[in-house]
Amino acid sequence: MVKKKKVREDFDIVFKSGDEKAIKKMLAKHPWLLSEVSGEMDEEMSEQNEIVAAIGVMEDELTGPASIEDIIFSLNADFNIKKTTENIQDQIIKIENIGLVKKEGNGWILSDEGGRLCDDFLNKNLKESQL
């Protein structure tokens, strides 16, 4: 167990450095890391999809940018999801950096790609809730 913890810590350092050769070397040596990293990335992407969907819902409802308060409201009211303001702000920075949302005034709007992701998320969740 101690060895896996040390390997995880080393991998986090290498992963954050962005050194692709070192990342691939560690993944080849410790293949179990891939499933752990994939699980963490899936969880983060899921959180980001929820926030994108909340921005889309509020953007439609307000016919304009959605503020942090609007996003929190939508997550609670529309999706029954509770998140802290800090968590939402951290995720918004990440989704803004990958081009899914744009800062406008005191809020955020979806990019074209963010709109597609929002629609996919809402359609998938709508189908699941109707089953």
- CATH number at 53 reads 1.10.10.10
Q: What is the reported pTM?
A: 0.71
Residue pLDDT tens, the chain, 131 long? 558 888 888 888 887 777 878 888 888 888 888 777 766 766 778 889 999 999 999 999 999 999 999 999 999 999 999 999 999 999 999 899 888 999 999 999 999 999 999 999 898 887 655 43
Overall number of domains in the chain = 2
Distance CA 46, CA 61 (A): 23
pLDDT of residue 129: 52
- For residue 89 the two structure tokens come to 């702000």
In this structure, the number of other CB atoms found within 10 A of the CB of residue 56 comes to 22
Distance CA 113, CA 131 (A): 28
- Please give the residue range of the domain that contains residue 103: 41-130
pLDDT of residue 97: 87
Contacts (Cβ under 8 Å, ≥6 apart) of 118 = 52, 53, 55, 56, 57, 110
- Residue 57, judged by CB atoms within 10 A of its CB (0-12, 13-18, 19+), counts as buried
Does 49 share its domain with 105? yes
pLDDT of residue 128: 54
Distance CA 59, CA 80 (A): 18
Residue 36 maps to a domain: no
